[in-house]
Chain A
């Protein structure tokens, strides 16, 4: 079956760095998306990886290893506004996104 595993909750300090891991098993693979979702709001797109390696976009970077079924989202210079849930979503062979339950990130001053 298809499965996504990411930590339920993480806590980090303002100004620090945090890495949110995601492991996945899907029927086929057409890339992996990361979304951010603030409480009570819609998910918003952060990154898309289809090849192995690191993609850097400002304070956020995303890494993919297809052979290991593994991705992580790296957030640097954490700000209070980064408090949100982070959703890992690989795309299967039918081009459908398989969503994890998300990691709730709590930023403390």
Chain B
């Protein structure tokens, strides 16, 4: 593995179902992020984690949860998917040692469709 991986690449999901998007990085980065990207809008931060064991809410956290049990993994869970959660989801990570101004590096994304 080199960089950040996300799984699945794409998924079609029935409304009401539970879904976990996986994100793994092998760069030993402290900070990790989940964004969603919708057509015509900028990336919006869902949740973040500054270090293993801690998480925080971003701009659009409702309907999503995260955990950070270790440095490498940062899964995003949709407890009960709704059609408005149809989007492309990007996971990102940053070194977290420059006082917060580190460059973020992105995974390839997961395209999620909720019907």
Contacts and interface: CB of A to CB of B under 8 A. Distances in A.
From DSSP, what is the main secondary structure of chain B's interface residues? Answer: loop
Interface stretch (A10-18, A39-47, A53-61, A72-80): A39-47
B105 A101 contact: no
* Range for the number of chain B residues in contact with chain A: 20 to 34
Interface of B: 35, 40-45, 48, 58-59, 90, 99-101, 103-109
Given A41-B108, A42-B90, A101 B103 contact: no
Contacts of B43: 43, 87, 89, 97, 99
Given A43-B90, A96-B58, A102 B104 contact: no
Interface of A: 4, 30-31, 33, 41-45, 48, 50, 87, 89, 91, 95-102
A98 B41 CA distance: 11
Nearest to B3: A42
Given A31-B101, A50-B101, A101 B40 contact: yes
B100 A99 contact: no
Those 3 A-B pairs whose CB atoms lie nearest each other, nearest first: A95-B100, A99-B42, A42-B106
